Chains A and B, each alone.
Chain A
């Protein structure tokens, strides 16, 4: 089955700096890669996703890149703000299977 590795497990940045979280996956059939943000005691919320037919996608301060050959994808957050502090999860799925395999999460702390 699919295996998703996520790094780092914790990340502390100063407000205004950029943050990068990296994930690798094992199943070459995976073609859907969402990123979720989970605040303490709250539900995971989708912040951005990318499909295997594109290499990069941006949404304001958030961008995701995908390298299918190397089987890795990354989340980039620019101009970080204290409200970006949360746990971020990457995930991968073969849309035919429709089950997401999640990484272990990255706790991002943005220091004001």
Chain B
């Protein structure tokens, strides 16, 4: 059984650019959630995907968008990057039919210059 994997682990972008982060969910999990963790803060919910549809969204602007694929993997896209987008982006998978416990990946650390 493989855990949640994310790529890339680190990346540097400049303001105005676009970024795509990728996540493979844990085997058997059908739900993927994305969280943003700024330095020294708790993770903040961005959105969740279930059956390839967005299933809940936090307080993030539309330039944050996502996708879920038939194999339950997911992408997070951020357009028009701003300096404040610098953070650790965590993907978490869960099985909607079970306890709902989240299993986090190691994250993608994004730096916007």
In the docked arrangement, what's the CA distance between A89 and B102, Å? 14
Residues of A70-112 contacting chain B, CB below 8 A: 89, 91, 93, 95, 97-105
Report the interface size for chain A: residues with CB under 8 A from the other chain. Answer: 24
B67-82 vs A: 1/0 string, CB under 8 Å? 0000000000000000
Interface size range on B against A: 20 to 34
| Cβ-Cβ contact count across A and B, 8 Å cutoff | 54
Set of chain A residues within 8 Å of B107, measured between Cβ atoms: 43
Set of chain A residues within 8 Å of B96, measured between Cβ atoms: 98
Q: Which of A34, A102, A105 contacts B101 (CB 8 A)?
A: A34
Some 15 contacts from A to B, beta carbons below 8 A apart, are: A6-B42, A42-B106, A43-B107, A44-B43, A44-B90, A45-B104, A46-B101, A89-B42, A95-B100, A97-B56, A98-B55, A100-B35, A100-B43, A102-B44, A104-B42
